[in-house]
Amino acid sequence: MSVLVIGGAGFIGSNFVLDWLAQLSEQIINLDKLTYAGNLENLSSLENDARHVFVQGDLADRQLVDRLLVEYRPRAIVNFAAESHVDRSIHGPEDFIQTNIVGTFRLLEAVRAYWNGLPESEKKAFRFLHVSTDEVYGSLSKTDAPFAETHRYEPNSPYSASKAASDHLVRAWHHTYGLPVLTTNCSNNYGPYHFPEKLIPLMIVNALAGKSLPVYGDGMQIRDWLYVTDHCSAIRRVLESGRVGETYNIGGWNEKPNLEIVHTICALLDELRPKAEGTSYKTQITHVQDRPGHDRRYAIDARKIERELGWKPAETFETGIRKTVQWYLDHPEWVQRVQSGAYRDWVSKNYGARS
């Protein structure tokens, strides 16, 4: 038995692969294009582990995906592969359309052909799990109820629109062709191996480098934070027992304004790596020009997955953020290596015009 994971060298995907193989013996075939966000170093502990087969390639490459399906006959597919950064989608939406929409379409077609050819018992047991986001639901006001699975789709950025489109394709392939799909819509993740273009790792690495901590606008936008291994355990639970054709929202009931997140990171760094001059990392905070179309608030109603599948997060925000800050303090060489020339180009493109 094996599972095909796509995008398993990115932030959540690599945590998922590591967690899976720490707990289960079933083989993982990991297809990843290795874009700027994919990093095989995250998986270096699996170098000599026959349960992990890495293949570099694009989920939109039909020939390659067909070949992998025939060769490994996976019982399930978990698709993490996507362009995932909202700011990048604003600067250049094309890759988001290509990977998140066209790529998902091509993958669905390859999987449909494979699934149709399976013997009846394998066909019945097969699952296609599509990893999506809460951003497809749009933005909430302060007093709105958190997003339930029935919330209407109102994506506001090129990124969230492309993810919403992919969710609709997955839904249609179930409704029309009977493909046994599951969709998960998760809130903001954080934890080890998070690429430092996203809020939490960016603030940690900038603080340690003595750089400014660029808070967009007033910093009162709210996100609902979930430690990455809790997202991974929720996906395993949905894969195991989720009802075919259903969507499950995943979240940790941890709504926080961005400014509070940045203050918490600074306070942890003040404790764990105090500055020689005795000042707080908070002095590095600067407010910069806001993100265009910035969603004000996300919040997940996670009652369905708890009620139906008995899933609950293991980490609180307090335990998860402490582990995360400690991980970045313990892995300066990982940070150094991902901050390549291409990363520096991105930083000047995104932040150059804001300050």
Give me the active site residues, please. Answer: 134-135, 159
Question: Of these, 188, 233, 264, 284, which contacts ligand DAU (CB under 6 A)?
Answer: 188
Contact positions with ligand DAU (CB under 6 A) in 82-101? 84-86
Kindly compute the dihedral angle of the four CA atoms of residues 159, 160, 165, 166, in this order, to the nearest 10 degrees.
80
- Report angle CA 231, 248, 143 to the nearest 5 degrees: 90
SS3 at position 213? strand
**Complex with ligand NAD: residue 189 or 350, whichever CB lies closer:** 189
Q: Does 35 bind ligand NAD (CB under 6 A)?
A: yes
**Helix, strand, coil percentages for the chain (3-state, nearest 5):** 50, 15, 35
Contact positions with ligand NAD (CB under 6 A) in 289-328? none
Residues 6+ apart with CB under 8 A from 310: 237
**Complex with ligand NAD: residue 27 or 188, whichever CB lies closer:** 188
**Complex with ligand DAU: residue 241 or 355, whichever CB lies closer:** 355
Beta-ladder partners of 30: 5, 54
Residue 346 interacts with, from ligand NAD, ligand DAU, none (CB under 5-8 Å by kind): none
Q: Does 104 bind ligand NAD (CB under 6 A)?
A: no
Single out the segment in contact with ligand NAD by CB under 6 A; choices: 78-86, 257-265, 288-296, 345-353: 78-86
Rounded-to-integer distance, Cα 324 and Cα 291, Å: 25
Burial of residue 201 (CB within 10 Å: 0-12, 13-18, 19+) is buried
Q: Does 13 bind ligand NAD (CB under 6 A)?
A: yes
Single out the segment in contact with ligand NAD by CB under 6 A; choices: 181-189, 201-209, 233-241, 298-306: 181-189
Residue 118 DSSP class: S
Residues 6+ apart with CB under 8 A from 177: 112
How far apart are CB 112 and ligand DAU at their closest, in Å?
26
Residues 6+ apart with CB under 8 A from 221: 257, 258, 294, 295, 296, 297
**Complex with ligand NAD: residue 262 or 281, whichever CB lies closer:** 262
Interface with ligand NAD by CB under 6 A: which residues? Answer: 6-7, 9-13, 32-35, 37-38, 58-60, 80-82, 84, 99, 103, 131, 133, 163, 186, 188-189, 195
Task: Write out the residues near ligand DAU by the rule CB under 6 A.
Answer: 84-86, 133-135, 187-188, 198-199, 202, 214-216, 221, 223, 258, 291, 298
